[in-house]
Structure 1
């Protein structure tokens, strides 16, 4: 186990000097994810305050006894979350603490059903697969460890609308193909006693590949909306990571934006 220590130095080490950071090299959890979790917890608890400097990647890697790519990956994950910012000539700086608020999470199936769109589901894949680096980071598991891949094609009124790909930790709940064809994943989670609390979601767009176009009844190169979501239960455990594709010709995301003073 590598542990930081020693007196705080000026500049970059000042903020980190208040922390007792440690990584367990024997753990299956990637080192960058261990570091990112500890830094995020320190920000949430106010031990790292807005404006605190963490320094640059070289300073951090030397101080923590980690490789520079490992530190860079940890920092980038928190930059992506909006908790840290990189400033040229200054280093890495805390932006603000993470605000947690409960979210009402719903599945596409529930939303379509509520809108009277008569959704149907084709289960394409439901099987264990090794976790890729992206999936492992999202679910907080070791790379190449077993996770459950669930791939479904969602239709409304007989027309394809979305290709849904979800990854879940093994043993989380029973994923019966017959039930998956007639209900939503989140509804199944709630029925199994899981309480969904919050999620982190990213929306984007890209062109359809030939295979995706064939599945979604579109032309190759047609516009697709993309969504990546990691959902957490009420203990903060990641319980699902989804990467979804939606036909832009048949689907749109609608957001309500609130002004905060």
Structure 2
């Protein structure tokens, strides 16, 4: 048996609260406390771990500080789901979540058809006057929000509707329509969440967000999509493979 699975031992030189925290972590790893689930009450945990409630309280506070647990107003203490780690490849978040056993879900918050806005044309390179579909989506993993995504797709590449976007990832729809993205310019950054973004992503106002803008082209050099996304930094990271020819940030 993993030693962390054993209840705290008072004769051990390791502090009781830390032993209790390790035991709780093992319960999470074993699935006894599932991701997103509410932590049992202090009294119940004290009984199960055979420690005092103050010891449980300190162990829980330690795991909150470590990002293993999270306190939600009105919802108690909950187990944090494992962070999503995504390679910076030409894939969509929908595809990545499905590929790694997640349950992607999409809320389409807006879908507007019209000519491309001047500021978007300037940022993306989409010619002014082009008819596009502008979409805003909130992407979930199960019931947990992960990203707020805005995309602009030329209508001569793909005609979109909300039902399609709820059922499929954008890149899958582009592939099915023959607009396979093969090259892209992508910029990753960070900033603080606005009040509206924080509410949608279940984060406090001012929480750090990862940002990503991407312009993608197909093999004929046709621009197929422009995206500007924000991701919860507490739940999401980008992974990049760097080689000798890759430009590194200046420190």
Please give the TM-score of this superposition, normalised by the length of structure 2. Answer: 0.59
* 1:157-196 matches, cutoff 5 A: 157-196=142-181
* 1:113 matched to 2:118: no
Q: Tell whether the 8 Å contact from 1:169 to 1:240 is kept in structure 2 after alignment.
A: yes
Q: Please identify runs of 4+ aligned residues in structure 1 that moved more than 4 A.
A: none
Partner residue of 2:190?
205
Partner residue of 1:7?
none
- Distance in 2 of aligned mates of 1:201 and 1:255: 12
Deviation (angstroms), 1:130: 4.3
The C-alpha deviation readout for 1:80-123, integer Å capped at 9, x for no partner, is: xxxxxxxxxxxxxxxxxxxxxxx962111001111111111111
Q: Tell whether the 8 Å contact from 1:131 to 1:145 is kept in structure 2 after alignment.
A: yes
Partner residue of 2:243?
258
Partner residue of 2:80?
none
* 1:1-261 matches, cutoff 5 A: 105-137=90-122, 138-142=124-128, 146-260=131-245
Structure index of larger Rg? 2
Deviation (angstroms), 1:251: 0.5
- Distance in 2 of aligned mates of 1:209 and 1:129: 27
* Structure 2 portions without partners, runs of 5+: 1-87, 247-251
Q: Tell whether the 8 Å contact from 2:151 to 2:226 is kept in structure 1 after alignment.
A: yes
Q: Tell whether the 8 Å contact from 1:139 to 1:240 is kept in structure 2 after alignment.
A: no
Q: Tell whether the 8 Å contact from 1:139 to 1:169 is kept in structure 2 after alignment.
A: no
Q: Tell whether the 8 Å contact from 1:194 to 1:233 is kept in structure 2 after alignment.
A: yes
- Distance in 1 of aligned mates of 2:157 and 2:130: 15
Q: Tell whether the 8 Å contact from 1:113 to 1:119 is kept in structure 2 after alignment.
A: yes
Q: Tell whether the 8 Å contact from 1:139 to 1:239 is kept in structure 2 after alignment.
A: no
Deviation (angstroms), 1:191: 0.6
- Three-state SS of the structure 2 residue aligned to 1:244 is strand
Q: Tell whether the 8 Å contact from 2:145 to 2:201 is kept in structure 1 after alignment.
A: yes
> How many pairs does the alignment contain?
158
Counterparts in 2 of 1:176 and 1:130: CA distance versus 1, 3 Å: closer
The C-alpha deviation readout for 1:46-67, integer Å capped at 9, x for no partner, is: xxxxxxxxxxxxxxxxxxxxxx
- Distance in 2 of aligned mates of 1:166 and 1:184: 12
- Three-state SS of the structure 2 residue aligned to 1:112 is helix
RMSD: 1.9
